[in-house]
């Protein structure tokens, strides 16, 4: 059940089937010269919509913005503060809760450490505030990397590399502009640098030259299956 496509009446009917909602979080962030700025959002939202075709599940409209530190100096990246990100999550969950939803799965397509921690911190505050809810925070890329470990060839592939390029080649091939080149960042250990692009020129962390649509299809299907397994277990989970 895709919220942005539903009517008020369809939403009311959906509540009789499930009270679980998935909230996709993404980013507007560089993904090399070959992938769209919306790569993180596309991956999270498409996986969520695929899962909703198989199990009863509300899917909220995606949040297209995230906290992007390492890529903040690369052209096209739009980063928001952790406070803004947390307030967005809190306000959305509170509103959905007021309409009867109680199980919240936060699926973030952006895997930045600060971004993920901000979502987890906001989730901790929400479960303390709204005692009836259950809430989980999942990183979509972590699922893809884990489930696709026997498919990918690039060790340490992480951003705009083999995995993400393969998935966008499968999902939206028209949005892939060229192939990209193998690259890994060279950030100095422990030093906070002002212009991170000096140590990561093209914004690729991995090897997009090894990407194929078939790899993307296989990884995507594995991620959908794993997400469904998680949601089914999450719906059964109880602390009592």
Q: What is the pLDDT of residues 36-79, one digit of tens each?
A: 999 999 999 999 999 999 999 999 999 999 999 999 999 999 99
Specify the pLDDT at position 240.
60
Q: How confident is the model at residue 146 (pLDDT cuts 50, 70, 90)?
A: confident
Strand (E) positions, the chain? Answer: 20-25, 58-59, 103-108, 134-139
Torsion of CA 156, 161, 162, 167, to 10 degrees: 130
18-234: CATH homologous superfamily?
Creatininase (3.40.50.10310)
């Amino acid at each position: 059940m895709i919220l942005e496509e539903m009517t008020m009446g369809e939403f009311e009917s959906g509540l009789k089937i499930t009270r679980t909602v998935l909230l996709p979080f993404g980013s507007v962030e560089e993904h090399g010269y070959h992938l769209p700025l919306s790569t993180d959002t596309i991956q999270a939202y498409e996986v969520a919509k695929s899962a909703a075709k198989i199990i009863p599940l509300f899917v909220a409209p995606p949040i297209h913005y995230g906290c992007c530190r390492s890529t903040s100096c690369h052209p096209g990246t739009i980063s928001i503060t952790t406070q803004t990100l947390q307030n967005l999550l809190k306000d959305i969950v509170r509103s959905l809760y007021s309409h009867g939803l109680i199980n919240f799965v936060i699926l973030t397509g952006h895997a930045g450490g600060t971004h993920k921690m901000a979502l987890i911190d906001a989730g901790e505050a929400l479960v303390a505030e709204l005692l009836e809810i259950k809430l989980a925070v999942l990183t979509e890329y972590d699922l893809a990397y884990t489930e696709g470990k026997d498919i990918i060839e690039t060790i340490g592939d992480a951003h705009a590399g083999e995995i993400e390029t393969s998935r966008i080649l499968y999902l939206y091939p028209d949005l892939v502009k060229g192939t990209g080149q193998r690259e890994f960042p060279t950030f100095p250990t422990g030093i906070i640098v002002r212009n991170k692009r000096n140590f990561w020129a093209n914004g690729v962390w991995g090897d997009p030259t090894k990407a194929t649509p078939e790899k993307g299809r296989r990884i995507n299907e594995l991620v959908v299956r794993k997400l469904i397994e998680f949601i089914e277990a999450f719906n059964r989970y109880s602390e009592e």
